Amino acid sequence: MFSTSSASITETGNVRQINEDAVVETGNLFAVADGMGGHQAGEVASNLALSIIQQYIEDNLGLISGEKLVEKAITAANATVHLRASTSSKFRDMGTTITLLYREGDTAYLGHVGDSRAYLFRRGGLSQLTRDHSLVAKLVEEGEITEEQARHHPQRNIILKALGLEPRVDVDVTSVKILPRDVFLLASDGLTGLVEDTSIAQVLAEETEPGAAARRLVAMALEAGGTDNVSVVIARFGESTTIVPVKGAAPAVTEEETRPGVDAVPLERKARNRSLRRWVIAITVILVVLGGALAAGYYFYNRTYYVGASKGKVALYHGFPFWGLASNEMTTTVELKYLPESLRRRVESNLETDSREGALNTIKSLEAEVEKNSVLVPAVEGMKFTEARDSLEKVGLRAESELVSRPNVSADTVINQDPVPGTRVGKGSGVKLQVVMPGQPGEV
């Protein structure tokens, strides 16, 4: 094992109103996420992704490890961000980059999607460990433009891959054997787009304390304009701190064993000691069994997700569906009333799933079912009645007309509709239309 020192900073910068970046810095997990989507959606995406990743790693410690764990944690975050984006119009286009380092023993596992970066500073040299999933990086790889041109390219912000944009995502996962005094830097493009690699290397060479290095790097990005949110996470792994057992050390002995004259205890006391020992053994067995049951319960609790109902909508629950042992993790916008009767009843009595991912997939298919059975009311105001009726019938809705008089509006025009455009209603529903009757005084 190595001793670890680390630091992280995330800053809004000089231009942006909000900080859509987010960082994680814990004992073994370090990450940067750069959210996008505007109207605070980017902030939601980056924070949601990081919390899902942390939770996933915590839940699966000891079950999966290394590259698999990193890949699955990021895939789970992708599914959650995508689901949140696709079930809410406010978050429709949100997504986030992710670059993380997860340490296990003397290995650093790196997971990466997007254009944030991971660097390794080793023996005075800086190397970039990740490949940007951006348009300009692709153009550089294909020899279309140079690194320098990429830095000022008008499309340098276009990224080709991010978490949350698609239901599935390919994650770049690599690993590095850690050597003493290795420094890993994770950063959003708010740093790397403004500060040259040579300057980054110089700071890391001069500042061995991660906090000081992080502060200097962020200050340099702000001095260079601070046009974007800037985030920096630095982890430095020091000397080996492995405790090697001293050769030839005698195993510990108890006082009882070394005390002279143990054999001299009277017979009666020996018998009492035996019965006491039997009790101690029995109680220990009971405690071990109870502890095991609790541990097993906790183990299953952490892995149990189910899909149920909350206030007329489909919801994701975590835990057991009884005795109040579940928490509502997310209520979706998927409305139960548009599900076929039998399916609705099944959701109301909870659909068990094998994993969080399974639950998210179930929600997706319920959503598809809702879309099959319901439609969004189109806007027909201002149309002629026949035209309005045809538009409604085309999407499976009925027109219910009511004739009204309205001076200065030509006959047959729809002047009001109920429900309003964009309302979700069941297929076959009626839409009330107020239609101007012919022969009005002042008719145009």
User: Residues interacting with Ca ion, by CB under 5 A?
Assistant: 34, 189-190, 228
What DSSP line would sit under 114-173, residue for residue? Answer: SS-EEEEEETTEEEE-S---BHHHHHHHTTSS-HHHHHH-TTTT-BS--BTSSSS---EE
Which of residues 190 and 319 has its CB atom nearest to Ca ion in the complex? 190
Nearest to 232 by CA among 426, 23, 417: 23
Q: Which residue has the tokens 């107020």?
A: 434
Which of residues 34 and 67 has its CB atom nearest to Ca ion in the complex? 34
Tell me how far, at minimum, the Cβ of 27 lies from Ca ion, in Å. 27
HSE on the CB side for 238, CA within 13 Å? 10
Question: Tokens in use for 423?
Answer: 């309302």
Tell me how far, at minimum, the Cβ of 188 lies from Ca ion, in Å. 5
User: Quick one: how far is CA 38 from the chain centroid?
Assistant: 17
Which of residues 34 and 172 has its CB atom nearest to Ca ion in the complex? 34
CA distance 235 to 387: 65
Q: How far apart are the first and last CA of the chain?
A: 87
Tell me how far, at minimum, the Cβ of 225 lies from Ca ion, in Å. 13
Tell me how far, at minimum, the Cβ of 35 lies from Ca ion, in Å. 8
Nearest to 32 by CA among 186, 184, 164, 159: 186
Which of residues 43 and 367 has its CB atom nearest to Ca ion in the complex? 43
Which of residues 95 and 308 has its CB atom nearest to Ca ion in the complex? 95
Tell me how far, at minimum, the Cβ of 228 lies from Ca ion, in Å. 4
Tell me how far, at minimum, the Cβ of 163 lies from Ca ion, in Å. 14
What DSSP line would sit under 183-200, residue for residue? Answer: EEEEE-HHHHTTS-HHHH
Tell me how far, at minimum, the Cβ of 36 lies from Ca ion, in Å. 8
Tally of CB atoms within 10 A around 131 = 14
Which of residues 18 and 276 has its CB atom nearest to Ca ion in the complex? 18
Which of residues 43 and 189 has its CB atom nearest to Ca ion in the complex? 189
**Residue 419: is the preceding peptide bond cis (ω within 30°)?**
yes
